[in-house]
């Protein structure tokens, strides 16, 4: 009979790999084989409880590709059953651990081991953009947009940035100045604003352009870039937000959202004249955009305040 709380998770159901959950995870998802996982672990001998290894004694978490034979079988199988944030004990019989001979001097032959494992996060193994077809890159980019929007709604800015940025990296692969981007042709493809909400990148499908992306796919790229910029602004990364907006404008030179968010980034960086210029452009393209109008006034006010501050300092120095 299994010890209290332990469940047999071995395929053979012969007690070779037992698991006891100490802290439940925060989602229903588990790592797939090949995922790069980040864990902490403490390894002890079942026989006497002595510790033979612990990642907690070293800086940082332990990261590795799970389910591909890089670690003991008990980990490859057991960690793929764990959820994010879960802490469990994996009890590994010798054939799920270090075998008949053990790992001298700390692990004796045929030793059953307990591993207290905490799973922090993982990243699925992905093909690089150049290994995918255009269709595969588009599908992946759409998945990342949805993931980013879910994170944004939870105000998890870092996760939103990571998802949006990964999506735009795949959808824009092979695009740019050499391949005909820069918003030529249908420059008003997505010039309207949705305020402070992530954009879905919607629109009717059109024929693929010479650059390889259809107008629909360009809209997806723009949505990912401008959404990423918005998340970066929330996360306090205005310089990178500015870069994302500039890249979005390569696909649509009259994109209101890109101009407005770049203006917001420049304002945060203290680039007041440039911020005002971008905000004015956004307002010209969309005269109903009260946020852009307000940003123009804010840049003017900030500039006036700086001049007054300089004037006061000069008065103190030479008055």
Per-position pLDDT tens, the chain of length 319? 467 899 999 999 999 999 999 999 988 899 999 999 999 999 999 999 999 999 999 999 999 999 999 999 999 999 999 999 999 999 999 999 999 999 999 999 999 999 999 999 998 888 899 999 999 999 999 999 999 999 999 999 999 999 999 999 999 998 754 333 333 333 333 334 444 556 655 444 333 333 468 999 999 999 999 999 999 999 999 999 999 999 999 999 999 999 999 999 999 999 999 999 999 999 999 999 999 999 999 999 998 888 777 776 776 676 5
Q: How many CB atoms lie within 10 A of CB 311?
A: 9
Q: What pLDDT shows up at residue 319? A: 56
Q: Would you say 68 and 33 are in contact if contact means Cβ atoms under 8 Å apart? A: yes
Question: Residues 297, 300, 304, 305: is their CA dihedral positive or negative?
Answer: positive
The residues, any chain, with a CB within 8 Å of residue 180's CB and separated by 6 or more, are 209, 210, 211
* pTM of the full structure: 0.59
Task: Report DSSP state, residue 179.
Answer: G
Per DSSP, the three-state class of 263 is helix
Estimate to the nearest angstrom the gap between the alpha carbon of 39 and the chain centroid: 18
Q: What pLDDT shows up at residue 70? A: 95
Q: What pLDDT shows up at residue 198? A: 65
Q: What pLDDT shows up at residue 208? A: 39
Rounded CA gap, 104 and 95, in Å? 16
Q: How many CB atoms lie within 10 A of CB 215?
A: 19
Q: What pLDDT shows up at residue 103? A: 96
Q: How many CB atoms lie within 10 A of CB 294?
A: 12
Q: Would you say 202 and 220 are in contact if contact means Cβ atoms under 8 Å apart? A: no
CA atoms within 13 A on the CB side of 124: 10
Nearest alpha carbon to residue 37 among 68, 2, 6, 3:
68
Q: Which residues are catalytic?
A: 41, 52-53, 72, 98, 115
The β-bridge relationship of strands 36-45 and 17-23 is: unpaired
Residue 280 belongs to what H/E stretch?
helix 272-285
34, burial (CB in 10 Å: exposed 0-12, middle 13-18, buried 19+): middle
The β-bridge partners of 306 are none
Q: What pLDDT shows up at residue 175? A: 79
Nearest alpha carbon to residue 119 among 147, 70, 151, 81:
81
DSSP percent split of the chain into helix, strand, coil, nearest 5: 45, 15, 40
């Amino acid at each position: 009979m299994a010890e209290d709380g332990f469940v047999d998770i071995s395929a053979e159901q012969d007690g070779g790999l037992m698991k006891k959950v100490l802290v439940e995870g925060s989602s229903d998802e588990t790592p797939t084989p090949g995922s790069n996982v980040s864990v902490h672990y403490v390894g002890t001998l079942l026989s006497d409880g002595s510790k033979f290894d612990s990642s907690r004694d070293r800086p940082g978490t332990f990261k590795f590709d799970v389910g591909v034979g890089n670690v003991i079988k008990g980990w490859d199988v057991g960690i793929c059953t764990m959820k994010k944030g879960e802490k469990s004990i994996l009890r590994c019989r010798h054939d799920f651990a270090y075998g008949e001979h053990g790992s001298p001097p700390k692990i004796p032959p045929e030793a059953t081991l307990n591993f207290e494992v905490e799973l922090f996060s993982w990243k699925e193994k992905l093909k690089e953009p150049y290994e995918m077809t255009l269709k595969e890159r588009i599908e992946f980019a759409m998945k990342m947009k949805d993931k980013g929007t879910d994170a944004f709604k939870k105000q998890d800015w870092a996760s939103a940035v990571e998802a949006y940025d990964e999506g735009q990296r795949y959808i824009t692969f092979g695009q740019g100045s050499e391949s005909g981007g820069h918003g030529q042709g249908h420059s008003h493809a997505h010039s309207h604003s949705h305020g402070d909400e992530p954009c879905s990148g919607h629109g009717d499908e059109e024929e693929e352009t010479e650059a390889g992306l259809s107008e629909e796919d360009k809209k997806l790229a723009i949505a990912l870039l401008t959404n990423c910029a918005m998340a970066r602004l929330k996360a306090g990364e205005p310089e990178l937000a500015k870069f994302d907006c500039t890249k979005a404008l390569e696909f649509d030179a009259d994109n209101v959202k890109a101009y407005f968010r770049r203006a917001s980034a420049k304002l945060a960086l203290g680039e007041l004249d440039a911020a005002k210029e971008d905000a004015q452009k956004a307002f010209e393209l969309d005269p109903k955009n009260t946020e852009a109008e307000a940003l123009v006034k804010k840049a003017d006010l900030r500039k006036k305040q700086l001049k007054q501050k300089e004037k006061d300092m000069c008065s103190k120095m030479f008055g």
